[in-house]
Amino acid sequence: MDLLLQSLILSASLGALIGLIRQWRDQQNAHKGGVPFAGLRTFVLWALIGYTSAFLSESYAPYCFAVALVLVGLHLVLHGISGEERTRVGFTTGAAAIITLFLLAIC
């Protein structure tokens, strides 16, 4: 149980680091009229989803990580379709989300 808690804290911390970097970049570009989509909180959640789904896939539900990957991808696509032009999800945000999911899955 101690290892599980350490892994969750590490996952949340790495997700927070990625989210802070993305949020800082979006705040630097805020003068251009863009509205940030994913920042600190979103990346922490995606990191925890990646770790938890990989943990569950390993132990209990074999397709849990694949479902999580599809759901995060669907979240990105639906936000990109439904958002206004200034809130669209860029390629780097989508790539960072998927990389975060995979990175924390191997944590």
pLDDT score at 101: 86
Q: Considering the entire predicted model, what is its pTM? A: 0.76
Q: Which domain holds residue 21?
A: 2-105
Q: Which tokens sit at 96?
A: 């960072």
pLDDT score at 66: 92
CA dist list (Å): 65 to 13, 28, 52 = 20, 34, 8
- Which residues in the chain land under pLDDT 70? 1, 25-37, 83-89
Q: How far apart are CA 62 and CA 10, in angstroms?
A: 23
Domain count, the chain: 1
**Which residue, chain included where needed, has tokens 């600190």?**
40
pLDDT score at 2: 80
pLDDT score at 19: 83
pLDDT score at 70: 92
pLDDT score at 91: 76
